[in-house]
Structure 1
């Protein structure tokens, strides 16, 4: 689990998933990736390989 504040997390989620993700106030992106380690999951060649499973929050 990674927790942080926007705008950086919105940009990270978009980069990792390869699609534009908008995160409003009190929302979270649920992302998943198959990887053997965090290093592998966050490697440059992992960009766009994460799947956005859901956007969750009070307004969603």
Structure 2
């Protein structure tokens, strides 16, 4: 499993791997409230991915 953050076709691809490209805003220049919103969105996506990959486990956090 390879998760990239908005690099799309610019990222190298290794055959036989599953890829997810999560487009999220760059944190550079964001105010703290916006940066926290990005953090929370990333946490939510990770939790969904963990439940998908490990359905018998509870996410940490």
TM-score > 0.5, shorter chain as reference: no
**Higher strand proportion (structure 1 or 2):** 1
Structure number with larger C-alpha Rg: 2
- TM-score of the pair, normalised by structure 2: 0.27
Higher RCO (Cα < 8 Å, 6 or more apart): 1
Q: TM-score, normalised by structure 1?
A: 0.27
